[in-house]
A and B are shown apart, each in its own frame.
Chain A
Amino acid sequence: MIENHKPKIGVYVCHCGSNIAGTVNVDDVRKWAQEKLGPEGVVIARDYKFMCSSLGQELIEKDIKELGLERVVVAACSPHLHEKTFRTAAEKAGLNPYLTELVSIREQVSWVHTDKAIATEKAKSLVSGTVQRIAYNTPLEKQKVPINANTLVVGGGIAGIQAALEIANAGFHVYLVEREPSIGGHMAQFDKTFPTLDCSACILTPRMVEAGTHPNITLMTWSEVTNVSGFVGNFDVRILKKARYVNEDVCTGCGICTEKCPKKVIDTHYEAGLGYRKVVYTPFAQAVPRFPVIDRPNCTFFQKGTCKACEKFCPTNAIDFKQEDEFINITVGNIILATGYDLFDAGRVTNYGYGRLPNVFSSIEFERLSNSAGPTGGEITLRDGKTKPETVGIIHCVGSRDKNFNNYCSSICCMQSLKFAHIVRERTGADVYEFYIDMRTPMKAYDEFYQRVLDEGTLFVRGKVAEVTNAARYPHEKGKLIIHVEDTLVGKQRRIPVDMVILSNGMEPRHDAKQTGQTFGISCSSDGWYIERHPKLDPVSTMTEGIYIAGCATGPKDIPASVAQGAAAAARVLDKILQKEVEMEPIRASVIEENCSGCRICNSMCPFNAIAFIGDLKVSRVNPALCQGCGTCVAACPAGAITGTGFSNEQIFAQIDGLLMTV
Chain B
Amino acid sequence: MTDTFEPVIVGFTCNWCSYRAADAAGTARVKYAPNVRLIRLMCSGRLDPAFVLKALAGGADGVLISGCHPGDCHYIEQNYKALRRFLLLRRTLKGFGVEPERVKLVWASAAEGVRLAHEINAFVEEIRKLGPLNWPKWDNQSGRDLPADIEPQPIEEVPA
Binding site for B on A (CB under 8 A): 78-80, 104, 106-109, 111-115, 118-119, 122, 125-126, 129, 517-518, 521, 523-526, 531, 543-544, 587, 605, 607-608, 628-632, 634-636, 644, 646-647, 649, 652-653, 655-657, 659-660, 663
Contacts and interface: CB of A to CB of B under 8 A. Distances in A.
Contacts, number: 143
Interface in B17-74: 17, 19-20, 22-23, 25-27, 29-32, 34, 37-43, 45-51, 54-55, 58-60, 68-69, 71-72, 74
A-B complex: 3 closest residue pairs judged by Cβ atoms? A107-B26, A631-B46, A632-B45
B45 A635 contact: yes
Contacts of A531: 109-111
A125 B50 CA distance: 21
Nearest to B109: A523
A657 B46 contact: no
Contact of A607 (B46, B59, B78): B78
Contact of B26 (A106, A524, A543): A106
Contact of B110 (A521, A523, A587, A646): A523
B81 A636 contact: yes
A118 B1 CA distance: 8
Interface string B60-98: 100000001101101111100100010000000000000
B103 interface: no
B42 A587 contact: yes
A657 B54 CA distance: 8
A303 B39 CA distance: 60
A631 B78 CA distance: 9
B127 interface: no
A237 B30 CA distance: 40
Given A111-B27, A635-B46, A660-B8, 18 more contacts: A79-B40, A109-B34, A112-B25, A112-B34, A112-B117, A122-B34, A523-B68, A524-B109, A526-B112, A630-B78, A631-B46, A635-B48, A635-B49, A647-B46, A649-B48, A656-B39, A656-B51, A660-B59
Contacts of B76: 521, 607-608
Nearest to A518: B71
Nearest to A529: B111
B123 interface: no
A659 B10 contact: yes
Contacts of B25: 107, 112
A115 B10 contact: no
Interface of B: 1, 8, 10, 16-17, 19-20, 22-23, 25-27, 29-32, 34, 37-43, 45-51, 54-55, 58-60, 68-69, 71-72, 74-78, 81, 85, 109-112, 117
A112 B26 contact: yes
Nearest to A126: B37
B23 A107 contact: yes
B1 A129 contact: no
B16 to A, nearest CB: 6
B51 A652 contact: yes
Contacts of A525: 109, 111
B26 A119 contact: no
A523 B72 contact: yes
A659 B51 CA distance: 13
B56 to A, nearest CB: 10
B37 A125 contact: yes
A517 B73 CA distance: 11
B46 to A, nearest CB: 3
Contacts of A79: 40
Given A632-B78, A647-B42, A653 B34 contact: no
Given A543-B74, A663-B59, A630 B46 contact: yes
Contacts of B20: 80, 543
Given A630-B78, A656-B10, A108 B26 contact: yes
